Amino acid sequence: MKIDPDIVRQHSKRSHLKSHLRVTPLAHAATPLGMGFGKTRLACPDDTFKVLYIAPQLVTGVAETIIRDRFVEKAQRRLTEEDIETWGATEVESREALNILDLRKLAPHHLGLRTDALLAKNQAAGRRVSRAIYEQAPRVDAILYTSRLTKMNCVCVYDRAATKLHAGPVHPLINLRALTPALELLKIQVLRAPIARP
């Protein structure tokens, strides 16, 4: 896959990231900006680089990390407290401006990308696109794209830009006031654990 550097420049912009959120397992609270290899939307298909995902809205972070496709073709949309209590969230900002490639609008068409590269349930095409951008556009720090689940903004940050980020402490997701409206937007009910009687 060839990436036209001129088109990449046309659709890239240097910008500071402010008040973005990362939803992450509480087990990784000590390393809120930690990255690993995985099979995610824009991960490297051959594990030669790492990425992390952040979003301006908590609802997108919850949908992309915890919910995903678990309620497809299901009438009841319910989570238990146990489904949530192992997760946390941290606020992420950039220490300096990032060079961000915007793939939300005409850029995919201009670059000749497959129409399902960023929105299909099968993520293989998206990983190939990410690798091509990483290798052929070394000045790109991050990709701005649309969440398949919420149709809101997501940002995928490449490992080469990790030192440009700062993260606050990881807070238990279940304690955040913003969680309730986020779950309401997703039409998800939380089943509370019964209170033990003495």
Q: How many domains does the chain have?
A: 1
Q: Is residue 198 part of a domain?
A: no
Q: Is residue 57 part of a domain?
A: yes
Return the CATH number at 74.
3.90.175
Q: Is residue 171 part of a domain?
A: yes
HSE-CB for 78 with a 13 A CA cutoff: 6
Q: What is the average per-residue pLDDT within 25-42?
A: 94
Burial of 151 (0-12, 13-18, 19+ CB in 10 A): exposed
**For 87-145, what is each residue's pLDDT tens digit?**
999 999 999 999 999 999 999 999 999 888 888 888 999 999 999 999 999 999 999 99
Structural domain for 101, as ranges: 5-28+35-191
68: region left, alpha or beta (phi > 0 left; psi from -120 to 50 alpha): left
Q: Is residue 139 part of a domain?
A: yes
Distance CA 95, CA 198 (A): 51
Q: Is residue 143 part of a domain?
A: yes
Using the predicted structure, report yes or no on whether residue 194 has a pLDDT greater than 80. Answer: no
